[in-house]
Chain A
Amino acid sequence: MADNIKMRAQLKNGVTEVKVLMSHPMETGRRKSDFGDTIPANFIQLVTVYLNQQVVMQAQWGTGISKNPYLTFYLAQAKQGDVIKLEWQDNHGKRGEGEVSVS
């Protein structure tokens, strides 16, 4: 599942900047296909971030997050080599996850 998330975590001046790019269509359920059918909603609802297996942040997303979601956040207490994991779950229960070590 790791191939649907790209992550980078860099420690700079004591703060770790984490950048994440997820692959997901983020369909609102309001868009029509070329044939006039409504494309069903398909979007990430929950995002959980772990630092060394401890939950540090949890997000709820709606359909207003852009396709292939991009997220940057900052961790105050991460050290080099610490493992940051991000998990998402969409409205169909599909999950994805990615992991990165702080460099």
Chain B
Amino acid sequence: MHRRQFLTWTGAFIALAALPIKAWSAVWNTPAFQSSKLDEAMHLLGVAKPMPSDKIVMTAPDKAENGAVVQVQVRSHLANTQSIAILVEKNPTALIAQFDFVSGVVPDVITRIKMAETSDVTAVIQADGQYFFSKKLVEVMENGCG
């Protein structure tokens, strides 16, 4: 391979490799995370017309002794799941986390969240460009937001 050709290809490769990282060097969604209202936070996430789905499996305790640490698992069985968002309606700020799947990740996450008081925990899934949700009530014995 000639030197010039090699350089062109290398340059093109580097540009291509850098592209997704640039595109992903996200941008924390400040307004969505600062919103105190569930509906508003969902709207700011771009969630439109979410439909209830039994293909979302959410595992969370019925009763949480300590709201500072509530383990939640969200698994989506919806084809082409692109993202999972977790929201707690009665927290000072509703949006807890948003996970975006790029490739090769099973849409199944477990994390531990804070809950200020008894509330529904809502999981919103984007799959094939559409939005689906599932929710579960978690009773909180001792608040964890301080």
Interface residues in chain A, defined as those with a beta carbon under 8 Å from any beta carbon in chain B: 15, 28, 30-32, 45-46, 48-49, 51, 54-67, 69-78
| Chain B residues in the interface with A (C-beta under 8 A) | 20-21, 24, 26, 28-29, 33, 68-71, 73, 88, 91-93, 95-106, 108-115, 144-146
Cα distance A47–B98 in the bound complex, in angstroms: 10
Contact with A65, one of B20, B102, B114 (Cβ below 8 angstroms): B114
Cα of A90 to Cα of B20 in the assembled complex, Å: 21
A73 partner, pick from B26, B33, B70, B108, beta carbons under 8 A: B108
Q: List 13 A-B contacts (CB under 8 A).
A: A30-B146, A48-B24, A51-B104, A57-B99, A59-B99, A60-B28, A62-B95, A62-B96, A64-B114, A65-B96, A65-B113, A66-B112, A66-B144
> Once the chains are docked, how many angstroms separate the CA of A51 from the CA of B20?
14
- Secondary structure at the A interface, as helix, strand, loop or mixed, is strand
CB pair A62 B110 closer than 8 Å: no
Complex Cα–Cα for A88 and B43 (A): 26
Residues of B within 8 A of A63 (CB): 33, 93, 114
Interchain CA distance A71-B110 in the complex, whole Å: 6
Residues of A within 8 A of B145 (CB): 28, 30
Chain B: which residue is nearest A59 at the CB level? B99
Docked-complex contact A57 and B97, CB < 8 angstroms: no
Contact residue among A30, A59, A64, A78 (Cβ-Cβ distance under 8 Å from B104): A78
Q: With both chains docked as a complex, state the minimum distance between the C-beta of A85 and any C-beta of chain B, in angstroms.
A: 13
A30-B145, A48-B24, A64-B93 known; A56 and B106 CB under 8 Å? no
- Residues in A whose Cβ lies below 8 Å from that of B105: 49, 56-57, 73-76
